[in-house]
Structure 1
Amino acid sequence: MADRGSKRCVTVDLQCEWGSCTHVSPRMEDFCSHMSEHLRLYQQQSREEAMECEDEFCCLWLSCGFFTTDSLDFIRHVYFHCYHTKLKQFGLQALQSQTDLNPCQLDIQTRNIIPELQDGFVCMWDQCESSYDNAEWYYRHVDTHGLSAEYEVSGKENRVLMCGWKDCDISCKSRWKLREHLRSHTQEKVISCPNCGGMFANNTKFYDHLRRQTSLEEHRFQCSHCSKRFATERLLRDHMRNHVNHYKCPLCDMTCPLPSSLRSHIRFRHSDERPFKCQHCDYSCKNLVDLRRHQDTHSKIPAYCCEYEDCTFTARSLSSIKAHHRKFHEGDSEPRYKCHVCEKCFTRGNNLTVHLRKKHQFKWPSGHPRFRYKEHDDGFLRLQLVRYESVELTEQLMKEREKQGALLDSTTTCLVLSPVGSSESDEGAYERTVGDRDCVILPE
């Protein structure tokens, strides 16, 4: 299971979930060929029936609901279901081999929801640029570059394998390391949760996904920043890295821990583009998850049922069922939010937000959509006034302030020159605290 090549030889049951089809294939080649026939018949039927929305393609995979106006996007999406099905089989086999792990407890309704795919599967290896519609063939193709790369001399006696990907100068000491490194370029995942469908870069991350769902009594390691608890110290260290911001938005004051979170921030805060449109009404949104949640509201069949005994409440959206749980089953009237200035308590976070803005004139920097609240030892949630930033980002921000003629004093932001966290990767992180109510600094 550790090597991708060996996984291809493992016997799996690849079940088609297109419409009412129950076909099962033992090999990916057969499975993808079977799926090609579904695509051919689907496109033929669309032409013959002269469908009213013939320029729209709707995925018929069970519990998916994806649709697009781009035929190539549609083909890539459908073939990715084949690849996702294989990864879920790997996840099932991995779970069966770990008797100390409990199965995933998350919502099974997401098991066939696959991520938004890149515009095209294009190999960027030097002088290659082959393109594919099927993720399986794309990942296999890129892997052949790792298998056929030739060693180069580095130094007196060292021999290394150079990555030939565009703009990459990484070298690896072994062929296995190079093949693993190439996944960072292709964003390939190698295993998926058979219950919720989540995809992971290796088995360890999949096992972590399961361990995070153990009972709270087993979560002995607590984050000092956000109070979340974890089953192992390594999970806590991995989590703490996500609190350290490394990237600043070029359009506002927002800082983020990852390039992906920065891209997401720019898309949601600085772009008006809403490419995902509902086929039933005028609604449009910025990502596929929001669209699928909206589409639930058009369904005549309730998608969610209250799990509490003797409660017959049903809803067509996840937000509605969560609101019902808070109001009728979770003691929503108990105040849990407390103002750190005047100690006034509130039952909802948005009520405390209004209080802080109107009563105490608190504001957040441009780019931040809302306040964040942290749970304290007394059980109350108070305003989060701290964020962590890397040394490099701190130096960048200070240079920008110097260019703007800004002065760092007690009325703006102060730097606490002490490393955050205990792992080596955290030693470059510094803590920023707020000293002025007009400059509340929040985490991403």
Structure 2
Amino acid sequence: MYKCGECDFQAKIKCHVISHQRLHQTNMLKCTQCSFQTKYREALKRHQILHKDAAEVRVFVCEICGYTAKRKHNLKGHMLKHKDQGVVMHKCSLCKFQTKYKEALSRHKRLIHTDDKVHQCPHCDYQAKIVSYLKKHLLQHKDPSELKLYKCSYCNIATKTISQRNSHMKIAHSPPKFQCAVCGHKTRGKNNLKNHILRNHPREQWSKSTF
């Protein structure tokens, strides 16, 4: 263990002790051009960049819009504004599909534009293009007692997959979010509300906010 010579602090790594020992320094490093002061030499160097002319400083330039920054992390923050700009899109040559990710394009082509079935079920003639589809199919061959079932928190329904359970809970047990402005009828889906209004209320009762 490395120990501090002025207090009980100790650490396994020497640089941690050196960093800690700066806390005991009484001599502060001061900027010669303003009132800024710090215990850390690197912090002073970073601060002094602010007083230099642009011609004297290494400038970080945005390749998209030409923005310049004296510090690299400032440029990184600026680049977040261009997150969706200048991105190379991978386009499908057979349809209008496009994506930022090359792997997603390959998956799209395999699913939509090919008839290849590469994953074979060992119990029947079923074939799938994607492993996850085969795994879902294999549940049909399992004995119900072997299946891990996902139970609804509100009723006795149990499903084979967690996504089916979540979908059931959303449809059957989530509180109604949409309310008819004419009669107060409540429903869980926006389309259900539209259908209710079209079926039950004459057009003259509709308002601009109805839909």
TM range (shorter): 0.3 to 0.5
The two structures have a TM-score, normalised by structure 1, of 0.21
Whose RCO is larger (CA < 8 A, sep 6+)? 1
The two structures have a TM-score, normalised by structure 2, of 0.40
Structure showing the higher helix proportion among its residues: 2
